[in-house]
Amino acid sequence: MDRALRTTDTPLPSVDARKATPLHRYSAASMGVLLVADIVAFFASFYLAMALVDHTWRWNNFQALVTGSAWLSIGLWIVIFARLGMYRTSIALTPRDEVYYTIAALAIGIAPELLLFSIVPELSPSRLLLLVAAACAVLGVGGTRAVIRPATKAAEHRSARRVLVVALGGDEPDGRVDSSMPKHWEISVYRSDRGDGESPQSVLDRLAWFRTALRRGCDTVVIGGLLGPAAARHVVTLAERYGMRVAFAPPELRRSTYDLRVEREGRQVMLTPAPLAIVSPAADFCKTLFDRTCALLALVLLAPVLVATAIAIRLEGPGPVFFRQERIGRFGRPFRMCKFRSMRVDAGADWAMPNDRRVTRVGAFIRRFSIDELPQLFNVLGGEMSLVGPRPEMREYAERFKAWLPRYDDRHLARPGITGWTQINMRRHLTPDDIERVLENDLFYVENWSFVLDLSILFKTAMEFLFHRGV
């Protein structure tokens, strides 16, 4: 890795956050299937909860469920799921992930429901029933989603688009446009010389690719460039006549952290960057409030563990209890990250490796259970870190990675975290050679941040911690 970073003529790698996860966008039919399945699962969860609370499976329970206020709770859950985007996309890597996302969404939804039902008790089933129903819905809704998602994804792949990519200009390199498209699309490429004229007749003279699209049964034509207004209007009109969809994809417009959207000011059409959710003031306020509240509660609850660890490190030998090191934080600002010292005092600042001989006996134990990371809760309280986000890097490595990867600085749009998307989807012990994949995961988190994503990462981190995998 060091040699590659120093080589100036080595082509820079193209890092695309889409590789970090199989982000799946649901079709309209899949959205309908998910909605119906969720309603049925919520209904069944309430019926099961009524049976568990009342210790009976009476028919009256079913009648009360159909005509009672449980529908209000189910409706609120459905609205919250929709607002969280759970009917538009899925980022689950495994069926178990669907359960984590369901837990996170229900955790967000249960609080306003309990508040509403406390203010207006006549609207509510019992609070106990609501909590039991939510617990049952974790398995019911999460389980059905774990089954439905791969099934709908497979069905959509079987009915994938047939796409013709028209490369304008014969000297365009292969794969500039078509290699960036979904892998399950059936893609054909037609190379055409770009003429100088923009009249409808000059476009007609270059429409052999339309005949190719018709012959191959394509439903979408992607033109790898921009046409003039008259030519574009003629192409779109012709495509509509044959029931085709037309899109323009200039090869020089590559995906970046900010998506582009089309806006019109008067008669002028403009491409403007779409702001990221994670950098909005509202998201920053909510995330900071949540982080600091949880960090304070965690420090109170874990105080005995912190004290015991500090005593064990002190008894093992001379040296400081805490290890402080400069790391790069949000917007590239440096800060001092705090951890329990798990290595010898003379360990240096080299990258930690598996079975590192510099690790002390106490250090090996606290690293196995991630206890060495707990003092970072003080960094969270200070606003330097978040509970969830890209892991902060040392200045030396950050500068080297920035020189090697053009999009490396984009990960600093988010506050660094104690855990993150990279930590739950990659092994614990990483090396500099893993930086490209790490960056892909970090950029995915920055581009797709949501509160439910943060909660699901925290739940998954907790589960892996309980099973001693460590993150």
pLDDT in tens, 439-454: 989 999 998 898 888 9
Amino acid letter, residue 230: A
Instruction: Name 456's bridge partners.
Output: none
pLDDT score, position 414: 93
pLDDT bracket for residue 256 (50, 70, 90): low
Which of 181-185, 360-364, 457-461 has the weakest average pLDDT?
Answer: 181-185
More confident residue, 237 or 158: 237
pLDDT at 181 (0 to 100): 60
Pairing of strands 417-419, 386-388: parallel
Cα–Cα distance measured from residue 231 to residue 397, given in angstroms and rounded to the nearest whole number: 50
Share of the chain above pLDDT 90, in %: 21
Q: Write down the pLDDT at residue 198.
A: 44
> Tell me, what's the pLDDT at 13?
61
pLDDT at res. 191 = 67
Residue 329 in this model has a pLDDT that exceeds 90: yes
φ, ψ for residue 447, nearest 5 deg: -75, -25
Give me the mean pLDDT over the 303-331 stretch: 92
What pLDDT band is residue 6 in, cutting at 50, 70 and 90? Answer: very low
CATH 3.40.50.2300 maps onto the chain at 162-254
Q: Ranked by mean pLDDT, which of 21-30, 384-393, 404-413, 428-437 comes out on top?
A: 384-393
pLDDT score, position 374? 94
Q: What is the residue type of 355?
A: N
User: pLDDT digits over 137-156, tens only?
Assistant: 988 898 888 888 777 777 76
Asked whether residue 171 carries a pLDDT value surpassing 80, the answer given is: no
- Report pLDDT for 86: 86
pTM above 0.85, yes or no: no
Q: Angle formed by the axes of helices 281-301 and 303-316, to 10°?
A: 70
For the residues 76-91, what does the mean pLDDT come to? 85
Residue 276 predicted with pLDDT over 50:
yes
Reply yes or no on whether the pLDDT at 123 is more than 60.
Answer: yes
Q: How confident is the model at residue 24 (pLDDT cuts 50, 70, 90)?
A: confident
Max avg pLDDT among 159-163, 425-429, 431-435: 431-435
CA 360/CA 315 separation, integer angstroms: 12
In the predicted model, what is the mean pLDDT of the chain?
A: 79
Q: What are 376-414's pLDDT values in tens digits?
A: 999 999 999 999 999 999 998 899 998 888 889 999 999
- Residue 196 confidence (pLDDT): 47
Q: What is the pLDDT of residue 8?
A: 40
pLDDT at site 470: 46
Once rounded to an integer, what is the mean pLDDT over residues 160-188? 62
Say what the pLDDT of residue 367 is. Answer: 86
- Predicted pLDDT at 206: 59
Q: Pick the residue with more confidence: 306 or 343?
A: 306
- CATH classification for the domain delimited by 162-254, as one of 3.40.50.2300, 3.90.850.10, 3.30.470.10, 3.40.50.720: 3.40.50.2300
Helices and strands (DSSP H and E) totals, the chain: 17, 13
**Considering only 171-175, 202-206, 213-217, 299-303, which range has the smallest mean pLDDT?**
171-175
Helices (H), 120-273: 127-158, 200-204, 208-215, 229-241
Q: Going by C-beta distance under 8 Å and a sequence separation of 6 or more, which residues neighbour residue 452? A: 84, 85, 86, 101, 104, 105, 108
